[in-house]
Amino acid sequence: MSDNKTLKGGEFLVKETLASDVFIPEEFDEEQKMMAQSCRDFTETQVLPNIDKLEHHDNELLAKLIKDAGELGLLGISIPEEYDGFGQKFVTSMLTVEEMGKGFSYAVAYSAHTGIGTLPILYFGTDAQKQKYLPKLASGDFIGAYCLTEPEAGSDANSGKTKAIPTEDGKSYTLNGTKMWITNGGIADLLIVFAKINDDKNLSAFIVERASDGITIGAEEDKMGIRGSSTVQVFFDNVKVPAENLLGERDGGFKIALYILNLGRIKLAGASIGASKATIDVSVQYANERKQFGTAIANFGAIKHKLAEMVIRTFVDESLTYRASQNIDDAIDAYIADGMVKGRASIEGLRQYAIEASIAKVFGSEVLDFVVDEAVQIHGGMGYSAETLVERAYRDSRINRIFEGTNEINRMVIVGELLKRGMKGELDLLGPAKAVAGELMGIPDFGSTSTDYFEAKHKMIVNFKKTILMVAGAALQKFTTSFQNEQEIMINIADMLMNTYGAESTLLRVEKLSGLYDDKKLAIYKDILDVMIYDTAARINKSGVDAVNAFAEGDEQAGMLMGMKRFTKAAPVNVVAARRRIADQLIGANKYNF
């Protein structure tokens, strides 16, 4: 990849990023904002008024709403113009996903179609496959679905039993098997199906038209949440698939699945931002209207604390997700500049930021779960009633920690992929880890702390990174090749990485805003940053100490615990006053406006 100012995936741990080198949502241009507005208008006028009907499995209506979105061009944001799409950048597609994320379970159907139901063909399809299917997927004439999971193959997707047997003349495959939890399965016209050819070790992928003989669609699953999306089992009984519908290379389907999972993970993070903002809007509006003890409940400190924390976490989620999204775009452009074709460049761009995609997925899904839980609490008894939007938001949110690889699997991916890149020499982890170990043996730096606001915050982020290098380096040295079996410690390290990436992304965003806003307008963003980094220091300390206590003893343990204390030291912050100021701005605007 050509040299550019963007760090490689995972490199944030060992290198500093300049604020000027990150993208922040405040930089979206007018064309991008217009696309977002189109999505917002569609969600508000077409989707939300029909949510109750969708929740009762009105699949005819669901299919119509997907096709209506296609007529407005909302399905073709990422599809190149030669296939009747808009050919927009990845970060633009993320903005539209955010807006659609406000549409509850419809957002799941939309994201499944435009993401995992369409992009495998765009990224891995032949020219003929693209010409045949992408225009129909862009217009909504075809609705897409992705068939990977099986009754006995969930997280271990490559253990799937679905078989594709080549016919003697080599002109087609005979497909047999069962797929489950298939989003859009009840309305789909086109299925991306993963199966093993003969006794191959790895999966292959196929484009299968729903109209093919031998396909049976099961009943709609009765789910806890996202009831307005279609989720079914799909049965394949001697289904004939033309040989030209093999997607990508034989035995290459598992790689396709992994690449598309990276895509699905960060897209889910985008949708979580929209859902969080919409839930905050509903919550503050209720808090301003609901009166108890002679005043609006928004005036109570306990409610202000909740509202402010919902804002802070959502702001961090947004900061890290759009930072990573632009990194993906930059990587794609760099690969293209090196002569790589666009489809391949897109695949490699997503692969390059697999760590950040998993961070965004886990962080975003857990932020949304926090936000909807607090929303129900703010609504009190009404929040438990199916009459309110927050009850639906609460149910719908829960699946996101399971979708696109469970959050536990993704935490393993974050740490495992980072270490793998270190072993391969793609990232220099050893040098920085040794430097931190040496620093622990030396005399602590008791020099005066910086009086520059952003410089002091950057020093804290550097120290957070030192805790990760210290713990991960010592754990790897202790367990060597068996480290992958120490899942609890890997989860601790993953949490430290996520919190650090979120803290740094927010710092860089606020620092960049300091060049756009005056001190008065910037003050509220400094409040968000102050509270978030102060709290992050405590979270990282807890995760790090738990990890150290799990494997270290004696002097090594004492030295690392002292290091944890030193590297997570945070200056005092009046978090009560800061949260009240954040809440007051939200309450005054009566909507999320950060």
CATH superfamily label, 25-143: Acyl-CoA dehydrogenase/oxidase, N-terminal domain (1.10.540.10)
Nearest one of 500, 523, 506 to 584, comparing CA atoms: 523
Residue 84 CA to residue 434 CA, distance in Å, equals 53
Nearest one of 241, 208, 244 to 127, comparing CA atoms: 244
Q: How far is CA 532 from CA 53, 205, 318, 321, in A?
A: 40, 43, 14, 16
- Residue 177, H or E segment: strand 172-183
pLDDT string in tens for the chain (594-residue length): 444 467 899 999 999 999 999 999 999 999 999 999 999 999 999 999 999 999 999 999 999 999 999 999 999 999 999 999 999 999 999 999 999 999 999 999 999 999 999 999 999 999 999 999 999 999 999 999 999 999 988 778 788 899 999 999 999 999 999 999 999 999 999 999 999 999 999 999 999 999 999 999 999 999 999 999 999 999 999 999 999 999 999 999 999 988 888 899 999 999 999 999 999 999 999 999 999 999 999 999 999 999 999 999 999 999 999 999 999 999 999 999 999 998 899 999 999 999 999 999 999 999 999 999 999 999 999 999 998 999 999 999 999 999 999 999 999 999 999 999 999 999 999 899 999 988 888 776 655 566 799 999 999 999 999 999 999 999 999 999 999 999 999 999 999 999 999 999 999 999 999 999 999 999 999 999 999 999 999 999 999 999 999 999 999 999 999 999 999 999 999 999 999 999 999 999 999 999
Q: Are 525 and 594 in contact (CB under 8 A)?
A: yes
8-state DSSP, 149: -
Provide the residue type at 76 as one letter.
G
Residues contacting 481, CB < 8 A, separation 6+: none
The β-bridge partners of 295 are 292
553 is catalytic: no
- Matching CATH topology for 25-143 and 146-247? no
Q: Are 78 and 93 in contact (CB under 8 A)?
A: yes
Q: What pLDDT, on a 0 to 100 scale, did the predictor assign at position 442? A: 74
Q: What is the total residue count of the chain?
A: 594
Structural fold of domain 255-324+352-409: Butyryl-CoA Dehydrogenase, subunit A; domain 3 (1.20.140)
Per-residue burial over 178-191, b if 16 or more Cβ lie within 10 Å, else e, is bbbbbbbbbbbbbb
Q: What is the dihedral of CA 126, 129, 133, 138, to 10 degrees?
A: 10
> Angle, to 10 degrees, between the axis of helix 575-589 and the axis of helix 519-551?
130
Q: Could you say which architecture CATH assigns to the domain 146-247?
A: Beta Barrel (2.40)
Residue with tokens 């989620």: 317
Catalogue the E-assigned strands of 288-336. Answer: 291-292, 295-296
Nearest one of 257, 298, 241 to 586, comparing CA atoms: 298
Residue 316 CA to residue 501 CA, distance in Å, equals 9
Q: What pLDDT, on a 0 to 100 scale, did the predictor assign at position 90? A: 94
Residue 172 CA to residue 98 CA, distance in Å, equals 40
Joined together, the tokens standing for residue 471 give: 């713990």
Domain range 429-589, CATH class: mainly alpha
Q: Is 421 exposed, middle or buried (0-12, 13-18, 19+ CB in 10 A)?
A: buried
Q: What are phi and psi of 205, to 5 degrees?
A: -120, 145
Residue 19 CA to residue 267 CA, distance in Å, equals 24
The three-state (H, E, C) secondary structure of 3-70, written as one string: CCCCCCCCHHHCCCCCHHHCCCHHHCCHHHHHHHHHHHHHHHHHHHHHHHHHHCCCHHHHHHHHHHHH
Three-state DSSP at 295 gives strand
Residues contacting 1, CB < 8 A, separation 6+: 8, 331, 334, 335, 338, 348, 352
Residue 77 CA to residue 88 CA, distance in Å, equals 6
Residue 99 CA to residue 42 CA, distance in Å, equals 9
Q: What is the DSSP string of 358-383?
A: HHHHHHHHHHHHHHHHHHHHHHGGGG
Q: What pLDDT, on a 0 to 100 scale, did the predictor assign at position 261? A: 86
Q: Which long-range contacts (CB under 8 A, 24 or more apart) does 50-53 make?
A: 51/103, 51/104, 51/105, 51/106, 51/228, 51/392
Residues contacting 232, CB < 8 A, separation 6+: 182, 185, 186, 217, 218, 219, 220, 221
Q: What are phi and psi of 5, to 5 degrees?
A: -75, -10
Domain-by-domain residue ranges, the chain? Answer: 25-143, 146-247, 255-324+352-409, 429-589
Task: Considering the candidates 99, 404, 417, 504, report the single residue annotated as catalytic.
Answer: 404
Residue with tokens 């489950």: 180
**pTM for this one?**
0.95
Max Cα separation, the chain?
81
